[in-house]
Amino acid sequence: MATVNFIQKSSDGSVIAGIQDSAIIDLTGKIGIGVTVPIRVLDVWAPTTEAIIRLNNTTAGDGETSNIEFSMGGGTNAQIVAEQQANGGFLRLFVRQSGGSLIERMTFDNAGNIGIGNATP
């Protein structure tokens, strides 16, 4: 088992190990952040009321997204998309049709409206 205190990339591209225990990579390749015995491929624990995971797209503008994809067998079967628009943010849920492409099935808009089977609630 390898213990990584924290890893920081320096300006010259080299990797620097840190001081405090915060991440574990076990012999089976499971990664634990904030936990010493990970039980999943990625196991994240945090004793906080703040966000545990943050996805950030550094490009701002209409239509920019941060996504979580769910893939099995090499294909994307579902996707959660946070999208930026001029009038606010949207959260969209896509699922794959049998043998087809991803279809938007649920949308949450910035006014609190929810569309099921409707991309513009």
C-alpha span between 113 and 92 (Å, rounded): 12
* Phi–psi pair at 61, nearest 5 degrees: 145, 160
Q: Which amino acid is at 17?
A: A
Q: How many CB atoms lie within 10 A of CB 85?
A: 13
Q: Element (H or E) spanning 105, and its range?
A: strand 102-108
Q: Element (H or E) spanning 44, and its range?
A: strand 42-44
Q: Which residue has the tokens 């946070």?
A: 82
**In 3D, which of 112, 110, 111, 75 has the Cα closest to residue 94?**
75
Least confident of 1-5, 36-40, 81-85: 1-5
C-alpha span between 47 and 40 (Å, rounded): 19
Q: What is the mean pLDDT of the chain?
A: 82
Report pLDDT digits (tens) over 4-35: 555 555 566 554 444 355 778 888 888 888 88
Task: State the pTM of this model.
Answer: 0.68
Percentage of the residues of the chain whose pLDDT score is greater than 90: 34
